[in-house]
Each structure stands twice: as C-alpha cells, then as structure tokens.
Amino acid sequence: VFDAGASQEDVFEGSGMRQLVELAIDGFSCTVFAFGQTGSGKTYTLMGPLAQSETQPASPALLGLMQRSFACLLEQSQSRGSDLALSASYLEIYNEQVRDLLSPGPPCTLPLRWSKTRGFYVENQLSVDFESLDAIVSLLLQGSQRRRTSAHALNRHSSRSHALLTIHIRSRAVSAHPAAGEGLGGPGTCSSKQGTLCFVDLAGSERVKETGSSGELSVEANSINRSLLALAGHCISLLAKPRGKRTHIPYRDSKLTRLLARSLGGSGITLMVACISPSSRCLSETLSTLHYACRARRVTTRP
C-alpha cells in the first residue's frame, strides 16, 4: 500500500514492476493495469505527467511505471547479453470500438478476432519496431495525444477510452560456450523466447450524476461502466472463486475482457494497481475499488 507521499520510484520498486519486466524478457506474457475511479491517478501512476512535446520532456522524478519499465527493459537486455528485437502496439477501446493509436491518418475501427492458437487478437494492428528509450517514449507520446479525452466535474482531462500499450519482446540469448561437437572457436548455442509486457490504462469508473455528464459524455460513461462491470464485477469476481466452483467466465461480454482474457485467466502474469482518492466525497467508489482489488488478489493463473 502506497500513501499520497509515495514517489513514482517508490511505486515502481515496491509494486514488483522490475520483476515483471524480467519475466517478460524470459518469455512470459505480463500485464499491468490501473483500476479506479476517474481522477484517482491511474494515468499519472502509469505515465506520469506526459510531456507536451518531444522537446519538452517531463521531469525524470515524475516518470511513471511505463517509462521506468521501458528503461529497465533496455538495461536488462544489455546486462544479460540478450539480443532483443522490440516492437510496440498501442490500442484504445472507445465505445466498444478498437482503434489503433499508432496508425497514421484518422482513427479507424479494427476487427477483434479469435483463433485456437492465438486466442483473442486485433487484426491489422500496427506494430512499430524500436531500439532506444527515446523511440518508445516518442511512440507513447504520439499515441496518447490521439486518445479520446473530455472534461467533466471530476476530471478536466478524463480518459474516455481504455488504452493498451503492448511491448513485444523477441529475445535470442547466445551462450559463450561452444555447442557440443564444435571447436573452441565455434559458435555458442542459441535459445529464443517471445514475451510481452502490456500496460492497460483503464478509463475511470464514474457515476453520471456526480460528473454532470450528458449527451455524448453520458453515452461514453455508460459504455465505460459496462466494460468495467464486465471486467471486475463479472470476470474477476468469478475467477476469484476456487477452480472447482467457477462457472463460465464471460470474457465475450466486452472488448476489454476479450483482450485481457489471457492475462486474467490464462497463462499470463498480471499486476493490478488499484488507485483511490482520499476525498470523503469519493468514499463509495473507493470502497468499490478496494473490494475488487481484494477479489483480484485471489485470482491465480498458470504461467
């Protein structure tokens, strides 16, 4: 548990993010998602205060889990001697429509498919290769500026979509020892792995009466709340039960739960960051967030 005085570095080191990065390099599918009421600090915890442009970067002390994880990923690859191929994709789910935040031109809706080998996946999404911290931070800034936001009574810059940034990691480790049958100067053995590190910035749960939303904002809020209910109220609640007492997990209830199906109940390793407000006005939503966080702690996967 982190109080209001905790620094971004405290959260990164104390949440287990460094270990999650290492597991992703080792070939596991890892996910971190921030959950909580609108205005509770989800986007700030993940990204910090985003730079206004590439020439005006944010203060290093304020960088969020994402930028710190990117730096850790690149540092780990160098220290391990691994040959990493890195790429990133960045999507948003807005009113149950999946959009590519890195694709040039106006945003277009992408189809969500399912196959036995891949599970749920987004067809035709753009994946961009990168090799440096500056390059991936630039992609984060580019995509985040295209994300849907609006102002209401609880948040001047409220995210109106769920955003998923996924780092695809293909690693090839070369052993310093020659393979059997090779001479002393022969090449070492190679082993390859494929892992992912996915960051999910959920739109905030909110009560329409408290935000003063109407018209399009009200439609957005209802869509957000339905998908969050499918995630926390249905899927996580059922997954928290002992395996023998579980009924069908309704992943198909929303696009969000379809894309998180492997992270929640499959072979992935997942970290949930529950963000709450100290305001007494938000007590009901705070208790709800803590309730779902307690349930999420009981969910187990099989990496």
Judge whether 144 is annotated as a binding position. Answer: no
Judge whether 45 is annotated as a binding position. Answer: no
Q: How far apart are CA 220 and CA 213, in angstroms?
A: 9
| 3.40.190.10, 3.20.20.70, 3.40.850.10, 3.40.50.12780: CATH of 8-80+90-162+198-296 | 3.40.850.10
Q: How far apart are CA 33 and CA 292, in angstroms?
A: 13
Judge whether 38 is annotated as a binding position. Answer: yes
The string of DSSP letters for 105-153 reads SS--EE-EEEETTTEEEETT---EEE-SHHHHHHHHHHHHHTS-EEEET
Evaluate whether 236 touches 249 at the Cβ level (below 8 Å): no
Judge whether 43 is annotated as a binding position. Answer: yes
pLDDT of the chain along its 303 residues, tens only?
999 899 999 999 999 999 999 999 999 999 999 999 988 999 999 999 865 556 667 788 999 999 999 999 999 888 877 688 999 999 999 999 999 999 988 878 999 999 998 899 999 999 999 999 999 999 999 999 898 865 544 545 557 899 999 999 998 765 555 555 555 445 555 668 899 999 999 998 766 656 555 567 778 888 988 999 999 999 999 999 988 888 889 999 999 999 999 898 878 899 999 999 999 998 999 999 999 999 999 998 887
Query: Coil, strand, or helix at residue 214?
Result: coil
pTM value surpassing 0.85: yes
Judge whether 8 is annotated as a binding position. Answer: no
Judge whether 142 is annotated as a binding position. Answer: no
Evaluate whether 37 touches 282 at the Cβ level (below 8 Å): yes
Strand partners, 272: 33
Judge whether 39 is annotated as a binding position. Answer: yes
Residue 234's identity, in one-letter code, is H
For 38, the token pair is 């609108």
